[in-house]
Copies of this chain bind each other. A is one copy, B any other.
Amino acid sequence: MTKRGKTAGAASTSPRPALSLKQNTRVRPRRVTIREVAKHAGVSLTTVSRVINMTDAVRPQVRERVRAAMADLGYVPDVIAQSLRKQVTKTVGCIVPDIGFPAFSSTIGAIEEQLRGAGYTMQVMATQESHEREMEILSLCRGRRFAGLITSIGRDNDDAIIKMLRQLPFPAILLDRKIPAPIDSVCTDHFSGALQATEYLLQLGHRRIGLITLSVHALPGRERRRAFSQAHAARGIAFNPEWITGPGFENDHAYRIAYELLSHEPRPTAIMAGGFPTIGVMRAARSLGISIPHDLSLISFGDTDFADLLSPPLTVVRWNNGEVGRIAADILLSRIEERARDEPIQVVLPSELVIRGSCAPWRQT
Which of A's residues lie within 8 Å of B, judged by CB?
1-8, 21-26, 28-31, 74, 76-81, 83-84, 89, 91, 98-102, 105-106, 108-110, 112-113, 116, 121-126, 128, 139-140, 142-145, 166-171, 182, 251, 276, 279, 282-283, 286, 304-306, 309-311, 322-323, 327, 342-350
Contacts and interface: CB of A to CB of B under 8 A. Distances in A.
Contacts of A116: 125-126
B21 A342 contact: yes
A95 to B, nearest CB: 11
A109 B81 contact: no
Nearest to A139: B76
Nearest to A142: B76
Given A108-B99, A169-B30, A279 B306 contact: yes
Interface of A is mostly: mixed
A29 B310 contact: no
A310 B286 CA distance: 12
Given A99-B112, A123-B123, A3 B145 contact: no
Contacts of A311: 309-311
Contact of A105 (B21, B76, B102): B102
Copies of this chain in its oligomeric complex: 2
Contact of A145 (B79, B102, B126): B79
A100 B321 CA distance: 10
Given A109-B98, A126-B112, A182 B251 contact: no
Given A99-B109, A105-B102, A350 B2 contact: yes
Contacts of A140: 121
A60 B110 CA distance: 49
Given A169-B31, A282-B309, A3 B91 contact: no
A276 to B, nearest CB: 8
A140 B350 CA distance: 37
B125 A121 contact: yes
Contacts of A128: 113
Given A89-B80, A182-B24, A343-B6, A124 B122 contact: yes
A188 to B, nearest CB: 10
30 contacts: A1-B327, A1-B349, A2-B347, A3-B345, A4-B346, A4-B347, A5-B346, A6-B343, A7-B343, A21-B342, A24-B182, A24-B343, A28-B169, A29-B168, A78-B143, A91-B123, A99-B112, A100-B110, A102-B105, A105-B105, A108-B124, A109-B126, A112-B126, A113-B126, A116-B125, A116-B126, A122-B123, A122-B124, A276-B305, A306-B306
